[in-house]
Amino acid sequence: MRSLLFLVVFALGCGDEIVKKTPDTPNPNNSENNQTNNEPGSNNLTVTQNNSNNTTGPDNPVSNNSPGTNNSPGSNNSNNSNNSNNTNNQTVDPPALCGDGLVQQGEQCDGLPLVSCEDLGFSGGSVTCSSSCQHVVQGCFHERCGDGVVNDSEECDGAPGTTCSALGFDGGTITCSSQCTLNVNACTSCGDGVREGNESCDDGAQNGQYGRCKADCSGPGPRCGDGVRNGNEVCDDGAQNGQYNRCNSTCTGLGATCGDGVVNGNEVCDDGSENGQYGKCNASCTALGPRCGDGIVNGAEQCDGTTNATCTIFGTGTPTCDSSCNVDYTGCVIEPPEPGDFRITEIMADPANRYDSEGEWFEVRNLTTGHRNLHNCVVESQTSTGAESFTINQSIEVSPWGYVTFARHVNVGFTADFIYGAQINLNNTNDTLTLKCPSWAGSSFFDEIDSTQYSSPPTGATWSRDDWGIWCSAVTPFATGDLGTPGADNPECP
């Protein structure tokens, strides 16, 4: 009870401060109201005050009336002792209660919101009602690019939300632009012939072929210069293609290199496939290889620059080394043969398969271990009818134990060392054949070197003398079909 009285007093005190009083105006209805509403059993509360603007409501449950008395039993009515006929009487509403489902004074909502985000000027979202019955707009938003929300007019906002593959591309990276549109510039369609996105290349339908882009457009495919021998390539030295001793720039063969027969770069020489052989460039093309003139006796060379040879086997003098690296004995003075140095070893006096004028020939042999020369020697044929002879008017050098052949005609059936023609005729019945040589170089005196006499020689075969000095008829055929061994050893006689 004390609490209620306090509230009434507090309300009255506040009302006196807030509400201005106006002069009372007689109201003829006041007394009637008082009479009507103050009947026993009535719950009416009549509040009158000297302010014509007096109101009732949740903030002013009690008028600025002075305490009244209960007029009648069971009645809650009170009369303001200051009431005058000029006071306006009003009925007071119950106080507002948030949560009762009724939107009352001071409340924007109660339970469900009464407005939408769009009603409040937002682009969208959801309005809620708070526990104090006020609208909550935190769920509303203003549509803008960059707010992280994909709005109606936006393709993305921040993250793209999709992939290049999902949009039909082969790959790549999709991004969201600053205008919230999908940026597919980095997406790729390998094989369309256009380099795009992360593609290194794109040769369209030729992708994957030699010298073209890889099938996945990730880079160049097999090609000349990748350092790998592909397809029909002969070689591939990568970035070194075209350099000396490397593959050429088209990978079709070796480029400039030692052995190509062309002097390239720092090469001193290049004899191609003959490099390393005698008289040619060395195998590395850095210098000339072994050759005549390098001062070294190589291969078949007899000398190189100088020689240790002597003229002992010829006679006297000094040999030299010629430009072909062979010993030149022209400086040697060859002494004439002495008696017994040569022997007549074979005589064809009566050929069967040639005329005598074509088929006659004879042979002599060097019986010494030295070289001998028959230049200026004379051969004589002595018969019963007279003597014939010829002079050997050219140099005929005969090696140790070597043979020399003399023929009447070139058509003798072998290559003779000297053709004497018709100067002598070998008699078919009996003859004496003699070899004479100058007694010394330039001498007009001659020494008889050898002489032999024969009678009734065989027909179609030579009269042949073996190493024992025995004569017999030859048994070995030669080119004409006649028998003999011109320029070769004679078989031993029986």
The secondary element (H helix, E strand) that includes residue 176 is strand 175-176
Residue-level pLDDT at 342: 96
Residue-level pLDDT at 91: 57
The CA radius of gyration of the chain, in Å to the nearest whole number, is 74
Residue-level pLDDT at 94: 63
The CA distance from 436 to 336, in Å, is 10
Residue 491 has pLDDT above 70, yes or no: yes
The CA distance from 207 to 210, in Å, is 9
Residue 21 has pLDDT above 60, yes or no: no
Higher pLDDT, 197 or 16: 197
Residue 239 has pLDDT above 50, yes or no: yes
The CA distance from 278 to 494, in Å, is 50
Mean residue pLDDT across the chain: 80
Which residues are registered as beta bridge partners of 159?
157
**In the chain, what are the domain boundaries?**
1-95, 335-473
Residue 344 has pLDDT above 60, yes or no: yes
Which DSSP letter does residue 139 get? T
Task: Go through 207-233 and write b for each residue having 16 or more CB atoms within 10 A of its CB, e for each that does not.
Answer: beeeebbbebbeeebbbbbbeeeeeeb
Closest CA to 187 of 207, 170, 166, 200: 170
Contact between 400 and 370 (Cβ < 8 Å): yes
* Banded model confidence at residue 165, pLDDT cuts 50, 70, 90: confident
Tokens 């078989």 locate to 491
Share of the chain above pLDDT 90, in %: 46
Residue 204 has pLDDT above 60, yes or no: yes
Task: Enumerate the H helices of 121-250 as residue ranges.
Answer: none
Task: Enumerate the H helices of 378-417 as residue ranges.
Answer: none
Higher pLDDT, 164 or 297: 297
Which DSSP letter does residue 88 get? P
Kindly state the average pLDDT of the residues 368-374. Answer: 88
* Banded model confidence at residue 332, pLDDT cuts 50, 70, 90: confident
3-state secondary structure of 268: coil
Residue 409 has pLDDT above 90, yes or no: yes
Higher pLDDT, 187 or 303: 303
- Classify the phi-psi angles of 348: left when phi > 0, otherwise alpha if psi is within -120 to 50, otherwise beta: beta
Higher pLDDT, 389 or 96: 389
Residue 71 has pLDDT above 70, yes or no: no
Kindly state the average pLDDT of the residues 70-75. Answer: 40
Neighbouring C-beta atoms of residue 136, cutoff 10 Å: 16
Residue-level pLDDT at 68: 40
* Banded model confidence at residue 168, pLDDT cuts 50, 70, 90: confident
Higher pLDDT, 83 or 368: 368
Residue 431 has pLDDT above 90, yes or no: yes
Kindly state the average pLDDT of the residues 451-459. Answer: 94
Model pLDDT for residues 80-130, shown as the tens digit of each residue: 344 444 444 555 556 668 989 899 988 999 988 989 998 988 878 899 999
The pair of three-digit structure tokens given for residue 20, joined into one six-digit string: 């201005």
Q: Degrees (nearest 5) of the Cα angle 354, 357, 360?
A: 70
Kindly state the average pLDDT of the residues 413-435. Answer: 95
Model pLDDT for residues 280-315, shown as the tens digit of each residue: 999 999 999 999 999 999 989 999 999 988 887 666
Residue-level pLDDT at 311: 82
Residue-level pLDDT at 323: 93
Distances in Å between the Cα of 20 and the Cα atoms of 7, 12, 51, 58, 284 are 21, 13, 7, 19, 127
State the number of CA atoms in the 13 A half-sphere of 227 facing the CB: 3
CATH of domain 335-473: 2.60.40.1260
* Banded model confidence at residue 73, pLDDT cuts 50, 70, 90: very low
The CA distance from 471 to 477, in Å, is 17
Residue-level pLDDT at 122: 82
Tokens 């097999």 locate to 222
Higher pLDDT, 478 or 227: 478
| Least confident range of 161-175, 229-243, 288-302 | 161-175
**pTM score, whole prediction:** 0.40
Task: Enumerate the H helices of 19-151 as residue ranges.
Answer: 30-37
The pair of three-digit structure tokens given for residue 262, joined into one six-digit string: 């062309």
Residue 133 has pLDDT above 90, yes or no: yes
Contact between 83 and 54 (Cβ < 8 Å): no
Residue 41 has pLDDT above 90, yes or no: no
Task: Go through 154-168 and write b for each residue having 16 or more CB atoms within 10 A of its CB, e for each that does not.
Answer: bebbeebeeebeeee
Closest CA to 421 of 390, 386, 375: 390
Neighbouring C-beta atoms of residue 456, cutoff 10 Å: 11
* Banded model confidence at residue 154, pLDDT cuts 50, 70, 90: confident
Please name the residues in contact with 180: beta carbons below 8 A apart, sequence gap of 6 or more.
145, 146, 150, 151, 154, 155, 156, 157
Higher pLDDT, 372 or 10: 372
Residue-level pLDDT at 195: 86
Residue-level pLDDT at 34: 36
Task: Specify burial of residue 326 (Cβ count, 10 A radius: 0-12, 13-18, 19+).
Answer: middle
Please name the residues in contact with 59: beta carbons below 8 A apart, sequence gap of 6 or more.
none
Residue 438 has pLDDT above 60, yes or no: yes
